[in-house]
Structure 1
Amino acid sequence: MEGVVLIRNGLDASRSTLLRILRGGATDGAIPEVPRDPLRWRPAPGSHSVGELLWHVADVEDKWVTERVLGQSYRPRYQTRPFDPEAVLPPWTDLIRYLEESRAQTLDALEKMGEPALNRPVEFLRRTTTLGQVYTTLIHHEGYHTGQIAHILGLIRRAGW
């Protein structure tokens, strides 16, 4: 199996897990909207909300692929980044659309670059690595935050919100 296929499978698996969490465990179907108050709720001071984490997952994917894979300048979609003090959480539908669009860009760039480019060196997270490692870090990043989202949504759902 080639690296591009492995990376695509990893991206598909990580996104599938995130969507299943958002659906309350269902493997397919519509994603029910999380109302604004639960979307913004933080389990503790200094922690992040489900909305901030969803925004962060989409934003980081957009930024890393735009800058490192495509070699273009990144501009935040909502004028700020998710954890900026002045950030205003976008509406639910915008967050879901951003997740979809950033993933579409990621997969398109992966398919277009091809296998040999996975070994191309790039500066990433203050070190030199490869484009393949950028992609595998995206998979890990989404999985990490999916666990946080699952935990927070579990608290919200058990509270009856």
Structure 2
Amino acid sequence: MSLGEVLKDALDRNERYMIPAVEGLSRDQLMLRPAPESNPIGWLMWHLSRVQDYAVSTLSSEETEWVKGEWYKHFNMAPDPGYRGNGDSNEQVDAFSAPSAQILIDYYKAVRQNTDKFLNSLNESELDRMVPPVRGTDLVPLRERLPGIMVESIHHGGQVSYARGALLGRGWLDA
């Protein structure tokens, strides 16, 4: 199994819980907060998709799906390819208006297609390729950026699944 296949498998496993946690939710349910300062499912799903989209576009020198696919229009947001919600205040999260659950899922899946294309292109020698960092200006080896894509997706995917159970109870996922 190649490195790209291993990373894609981790994302696939995360999606087995994350996607069903979002499916069928109303816009009101997508915007419920488990606690006053916790992020709602809709915002989390948008954010994790934006982070993955931005990271992969930066690493592959491709345009973000956000701009290329004009997804920003579905979210009534600006086409800013770099904005992904990092550090958003409670007021900014409150101002976010989730589109339908299906649009959130469709955007994620479009991003994931780009991620898979990128991961399929990886080989061992590319891990030493110098790429832009998440923060700062000094380039870093690609091997230091790849784990961040996985951690961000799995971390927030778990939050989405947990929030679904916390807000709506058990029984939403067939084990």
TM over 0.5: yes
Measure the CA separation in 1 of the matches of 2:32 and 2:16: 24
Q: Find the counterpart in structure 1 of residue 129 from structure 2.
A: 120
Structure 1: runs of 5+ lacking an equivalent? 23-30
Q: Find the counterpart in structure 1 of residue 142 from structure 2.
A: 131
Taking a change above 3 Å as real, the CA distance of residues 72 and 49 of structure 1, as seen in their structure-2 partners, is same
| TM-score computed with the length of structure 1 as normaliser | 0.77
Give the length in aligned residue pairs. 150
Q: Find the counterpart in structure 1 of residue 46 from structure 2.
A: 55
**Offset of residue 14 of structure 1:** 2.4
Q: Find the counterpart in structure 2 of residue 147 from structure 1.
A: 158
The letter of the residue matching 2:8 is: R
Q: Contact 1:40/1:52 (CA < 8 Å) preserved in 2?
A: yes
Say whether residues 1:88 and 2:88 are aligned partners.
no
Measure the CA separation in 2 of the matches of 1:82 and 1:41: 20
Q: Find the counterpart in structure 1 of residue 15 from structure 2.
A: 15
**Offset of residue 50 of structure 1:** 0.3
Within the candidate set 57, 60, 83, 1:70 is matched to: 60
| TM-score computed with the length of structure 2 as normaliser | 0.72
Q: Contact 1:52/1:82 (CA < 8 Å) preserved in 2?
A: no
**Relative contact order, higher structure (CA 8 A, sep 6+):** 2
Once superposed, what is the RMSD of the aligned Cα atoms? Answer: 2.6
Measure the CA separation in 1 of the matches of 2:169 and 2:10: 30
Identical positions, percent: 25
**Offset of residue 19 of structure 1:** 2.9
Q: Contact 2:41/2:164 (CA < 8 Å) preserved in 1?
A: yes
Deviations 1:84-123 (CA, angstroms, capped at 9, x unpaired): 6253322221101011000100001121343322321212
Q: Contact 2:5/2:119 (CA < 8 Å) preserved in 1?
A: no
The letter of the residue matching 1:16 is: R
Q: Contact 1:120/1:130 (CA < 8 Å) preserved in 2?
A: yes
Structure 2: runs of 5+ lacking an equivalent? 171-175
Q: Contact 2:43/2:98 (CA < 8 Å) preserved in 1?
A: yes
| SS of aligned partner of 1:48 | coil
**Offset of residue 51 of structure 1:** 0.4
Q: Contact 2:34/2:40 (CA < 8 Å) preserved in 1?
A: yes
Measure the CA separation in 2 of the matches of 1:116 and 1:82: 30
- Where in structure 1 do 4 or more consecutive aligned residues deviate above 4 Å? 73-76
